[in-house]
Structure 1
Amino acid sequence: MEADLVTVLRCPVCSDALALTGRTAGCSQGHSYDLAKQGYLNLLPSASSGIDGDSAAMVGARTVFLGGGHYAPIRDALILAAAGLREDDLLVEVGAGTAYYLSGVLGTAPGRRGIALDVSRYAARRAAKVDRRIGSVVCDAWQELPLLDDSAQLMLNVFAPRNAAEMARVLAPGGTLLVVTPNQEHLAELVGVLGLVKVDQEKERRLQESLAGKFEQAGTELVESVMRLDRTAIEQLVLMTPSARHLNHRELAAQIAVLPEPSVVTLSVTLSTWQVA
């Protein structure tokens, strides 16, 4: 965690700005937070300390699957949507996981910086190692985000929780929010066969309602592709999703074993662009 990245963060207790001294981030009120040896900063309020994020196994599966490039069309679409970024802008990803999307959008601009927010310390460990320009922070997306007002120019939200009031507070005037949500067709070939969680038919309506009053929609884009996945990739895909929390892993392995190899699986998501109202 670089010192300049800590300066955009705020204390989860009193909301004062943080500054880094050695390996400790502290505020003027005397609250302090030590950097983990893996490089991330835990700013999760004590009241939220019992919240479970992605497990180490889920994060490991995500790392392997995304590393295979299967979701590259989503990453590429985000990069194009963020093409107007300036060289010194700050990007924030809420529910960043391994910071796969955030690192792609950062590109090669040396002055551009990113903050990866996630409730999972296992995800934070991975994100902290991706790029020196990315600061990795553990926090609860449903609570106050540990970022200063008007500090970011772009925010990413890919399959993640959306706290509209906090996202609008953190984004500077004219700031942009990019949201990626799954469509009904997404992974349709696997949902019934493997018992995965189905996409809510009311997802689009709920997205509109969740952002209403804080953001105005500026556009939408359908991102679709056909993935050809071997059985190992399918297993990693399932294990990185919320479905992994309730599936019997032995039964899952047996179900995957009878699938054709490779299996044709649909990637179908909507990328929507929002501006602060």
Structure 2
Amino acid sequence: MQWLMCPVCREQLELNARTWRCQQGHSFDLAKQGYVNLHVVQHKHSKQPGDTPESVAARRAFLSGGFYAPLRQAVEALLQQYQPKTLLDIGCGEGYYIQAMQAHVVDCIGVDIAKSAVQHAAKTNPEVTWVVGTGAVLPVLDQSMEICTSLFSPIPKPEILRVLKQNGLCLVVTPAPQHLYALREQLFDEVRPHEPEKFVAQLSDAFELLESKVVDAPLVLQQQDIQNLLAMTPYAYKAKPEKRQALEQLAQLDVTASFQLYLFKKM
């Protein structure tokens, strides 16, 4: 698979031994874990962009408990239905979802801005091409992907349009209105429903909406699960410290995770 794009000159990268190189001579070595870092310094806005190692570790621990398995299964079902061959996962994190998606495509690329997340992900599935990179300059060639996926990640619309083939697909997963409502009630004085439909409006001028589905996952969380879930969400730092501490001391919490899936086609 030679779908990667040089982040410096935008030429095609080719893998030779353990180095990705373009015709202009820019080269990027594979790390020992098996990923390549294409997040060049001129595209960086901080020293350690993306999720912190602590957040990555908490998410890995939480997802390994199978709590979000219904979502992963729903994503797999869509891939089985539409059968794309090339897939780019934007914001792949530690690889929980893309590990499952890879089994349903021919070529699979996972990109995330958080180096610590990609370092872990690269150990999980050597069949995926793992990349540290930014959504602002997706590290793949023009019109090379049949589907882009963004699960709880930003949606860089111009870049998605650039890398998708004609009639290519874009899968967006975002919190449904009632996502983790019981948990948020514990954290905030006022709880507002999530507004997933804003993404439909954002993409409507360039994409046709093919599928819209809500997947619910009832959860029974023990204390460590609650702490891990908090650490991997933005709720943790938005809540008052005393409310977060009270929630983290609960022995058990019953809550429903609710996911909105949108599948779009590039027009």
Q: TM-score, normalised by structure 2?
A: 0.91
Shift of 1:47: 2.4
User: Structure 1 residue 99 and structure 2 residue 99: aligned?
Assistant: no
Corresponding residue for 2:3?
8
User: Structure 1 residue 167 and structure 2 residue 157: aligned?
Assistant: no
Deviations 1:78-115 (A, max 9, x none): 011111354x81211101111211111222x6x72211
1:169-248 superposed matches below 5 A: 169-195=162-188, 201-205=194-198, 207-245=199-237
Matched AA of 1:128 = A
Report percent identity of matched pairs.
34
Shift of 1:38: 2.0
**Counterparts of 2:192 and 2:43 in 1: how far apart (Å)?**
27
**Counterparts of 2:239 and 2:194 in 1: how far apart (Å)?**
22
User: Structure 1 residue 65 and structure 2 residue 62: aligned?
Assistant: yes
- The one of 257, 261, 266 equivalent to 1:267 is 257
- Give the SS at the match of 1:101: helix
User: Mind listing any 5+ residue stretches in structure 1 that lack a counterpart?
Assistant: none
- The one of 55, 73, 82 equivalent to 1:76 is 73
Corresponding residue for 1:112?
106
Corresponding residue for 1:128?
122
Closer/same/farther in 2, CA of residues 220 and 203 from structure 1, 3 Å limit: closer
Moved more, 193-202 or 12-21: 193-202
Q: Is the 8 A contact 1:197 1:243 kept in 2?
A: no
User: Mind listing any 5+ residue stretches in structure 2 that lack a counterpart?
Assistant: none
Closer/same/farther in 2, CA of residues 201 and 69 from structure 1, 3 Å limit: closer
Shift of 1:50: 3.4
Q: Is the 8 A contact 1:190 1:196 kept in 2?
A: no
- Give the SS at the match of 2:80: coil
Structure 1 consecutive aligned stretches of length 4 or more whose deviation exceeds 4 Å: 195-202, 245-251
Closer/same/farther in 2, CA of residues 61 and 197 from structure 1, 3 Å limit: farther
Q: Is the 8 A contact 1:183 1:199 kept in 2?
A: no
- The one of 17, 36, 54 equivalent to 1:41 is 36
**Counterparts of 2:194 and 2:162 in 1: how far apart (Å)?**
29
**Counterparts of 1:47 and 1:247 in 2: how far apart (Å)?**
34
How many residue pairs are counted as aligned between the two chains? 265
**Counterparts of 1:198 and 1:22 in 2: how far apart (Å)?**
53
Q: Is the 8 A contact 1:59 1:97 kept in 2?
A: yes
Q: Is the 8 A contact 1:189 1:266 kept in 2?
A: yes
